[in-house]
Copies of this chain bind each other. A is one copy, B any other.
Amino acid sequence: MANIRDLAKEAGVSVATVSRVLNGYPYVSEEKRKAVWEAVEKLNYSKNIQAVHLAKGRTTIVGVMLPYIHHPYFSAVIEGISKEALRYGYQLLLFQTNYDVERELEALERLRMRQMDGLIVCSHEVDWEAFAAYQEEGPIVLCEQVGEQDFLAVYIDHYQAFVQALRYLVKKGHRRIGYCIGRMTGPNSQARAAAYQDVLREAGVIPRRQWIFEGCLFLEDGKRVIEQWVAMEERPSALLVTSDQVAAGIVLQAGRIGVRIPEELAIIGFDNDPLAELLGITTVALPHFALGEKAFRLIHHWLETGNVHRKQVELPTQLIIRTTG
Name A's B-contacting residues (CB within 8 A): 46-51, 53-54, 59, 61, 68-72, 75-76, 78-79, 82-83, 86, 91-96, 103, 109-110, 112-115, 218-220, 223, 248-249, 252-253, 274-275, 278-279
Contact = CB atoms under 8 A, between A and B. Distances in A.
Nearest to A220: B274
Nearest to A251: B278
Contact of A75 (B70, B113, B114): B70
Contact of A48 (B49, B91, B113): B113
Give the copy number: 2
Contacts of A218: 274
Contacts of A76: 70
A182 to B, nearest CB: 16
A69 B59 contact: no
Nearest to A219: B274
Given A47-B113, A114-B50, A75 B82 contact: no
Contacts of A83: 96
A96 to B, nearest CB: 5
A219 B69 contact: no
A53 B290 CA distance: 34
B59 A70 contact: no
Given A69-B75, A252-B279, A96 B114 contact: no
A296 B151 CA distance: 36
